[in-house]
Structure 1
C-alpha cells in the first residue's frame, strides 16, 4: 500500500490506464457525493466487501478512499492480503477532497 496526497492521487489516476477507484464508505456517507467513476464497496459490511473484492481483477491498480483515510488504509491491507499488489490510499479521504465530485 502506498499513501498518496490528493495531488499525487489525482496525477496517478489521470496517468494510470489500469486505475480502479474504490469508495469504501457507507451508503449514508456516499449521499455526500463520490469521486467520479468510483466503485462502491462498503468496508463496514464485511461479507459484501469481501465478496466484491474477490471479484476484482488483481492486475489492476486500486485507488481506495473513505471519509478520512483510516478505513481505506484498512481496505488496502485487506486487498493486499488477498493478493492485490498495487493499492493506493487517499490521505485525508473524501472529507478533504477538492477535486471533482458526483452527486
Structure 2
C-alpha cells in the first residue's frame, strides 16, 4: 500500500491506464457529499459483505482508495493487500481534502 498526497494521487491516477477508484465511505456520506467521478462505491462498514464485494474485483488493477479522512481507506488497503491485491493506494486526507472533481449520485 502506498499513502499518497492529494497531488501524488491525482498525478498517478492521470497516468495509470489500469486504475480503479474505490470509495469506501458509507452510503449516507456518498449521498451527502458526492463521489469522485467514475469511482466504485463499497462501504467498508459492510463487514463480510465488503470482503465479498472486493473478491469480485480484478486484482491485477491498481486501486486508488479513499474515505472521508484517510483512515478507513488505509484499513481497506490493508484488507485488500491481505486478499492478494498488489497495487493499492490510500488517499491521505481523504475526501474531506479532495480538491478535484466531484459528482453527485
Which segments of 5 or more consecutive residues in structure 2 lack a partner in the other structure?
A: none
Residue 39 (structure 2) pairs with residue 38 (structure 1)? yes
Q: Matched residue of 2:22: which SS?
A: strand
Query: Which residue of structure 2 lines up, in the alignment, with residue 102 of structure 1?
Result: 103
Which residue in 2 is equivalent to 1:19?
19
- Greater helix share, structure number: 2
**Is the counterpart of residue 84 in structure 1 residue 65 in structure 2?**
no
- CA distance in 1 between counterparts of 2:49 and 2:14 reads 28
TM-score, scaled to structure 2:
0.96
TM-score (norm 1): 0.98
Query: Which stretches of structure 1, 4 residues or longer, exceed 2 Å deviation after superposition?
Result: none
5 Å-filtered alignment, 1:54-93, equals 54-93=55-94
- Tell me by how many angstroms 1:47 deviates: 2.1
Q: Name stretches of at least 5 consecutive residues in structure 1 with no aligned partner.
A: none
